[in-house]
Amino acid sequence: MGFGVSAAQIRTIVEEEVADIKDQTNKLAGETPGDSSVEADWQSGIATSGETGGDLVTIGTAGDRKKVHSLVVGIGALTIGANITIRLYRLVNGVETRVYRETFIVGTDPNGLWVINGTLEIDGTLRVEVQSDTPADNGEAVTYNYNTEDM
């Protein structure tokens, strides 16, 4: 009496299911954090968007889906009193679109800005730009740290 499935077929099915479960479980640990700094002409430069400032980091790659759990931008090396604008861009229906813009003041706001504090799903890339209103910030370092997880 049988069900038309051999023991070898059952073993193969179970092994595939176990591999899928392991793959999903391994994603829960997240990826290696992105952690670096960039020196740019934050006041006089032109970022990829065409707006004044510079590109800080691009998170993700075209065709990939990720969860971004946090993004911290460090502005502590910039001039006290400077207005620092953080902008985020991503594709919306195939068109790169600014999806976030906020201005902070060095010395008033924290040196580490929690730009993303929670889970944000991205399909493709998320680009971060920084702009300063103070010429002395040209060539200074802006730091960043982000944590992602594959989907």
Q: What's the pLDDT tens digit per position in 37-87? A: 999 999 999 999 999 999 999 999 998 999 999 999 999 999 999 999 999
Q: For 126-142, how does the pLDDT look when each residue is reduced to its tens digit (9 = 90+)? A: 999 999 999 999 999 99
Burial of 132 (0-12, 13-18, 19+ CB in 10 A): buried
Residue 88 lies in a domain: yes
- Only one residue has tokens 């944000």, namely 120
Residue 56 lies in a domain: yes
User: For residue 60, what are the domain limits?
Assistant: 31-150
Residue 55 lies in a domain: yes
Residue 70 lies in a domain: yes
Residue 3 lies in a domain: no
Residue 58 lies in a domain: yes
Residue 21 lies in a domain: no
| pTM over 0.85, yes/no | no
How many domains would you assign to the chain? 1
Residue 10 lies in a domain: no
Residues 6+ apart with CB under 8 A from 58: 125, 126, 127, 128
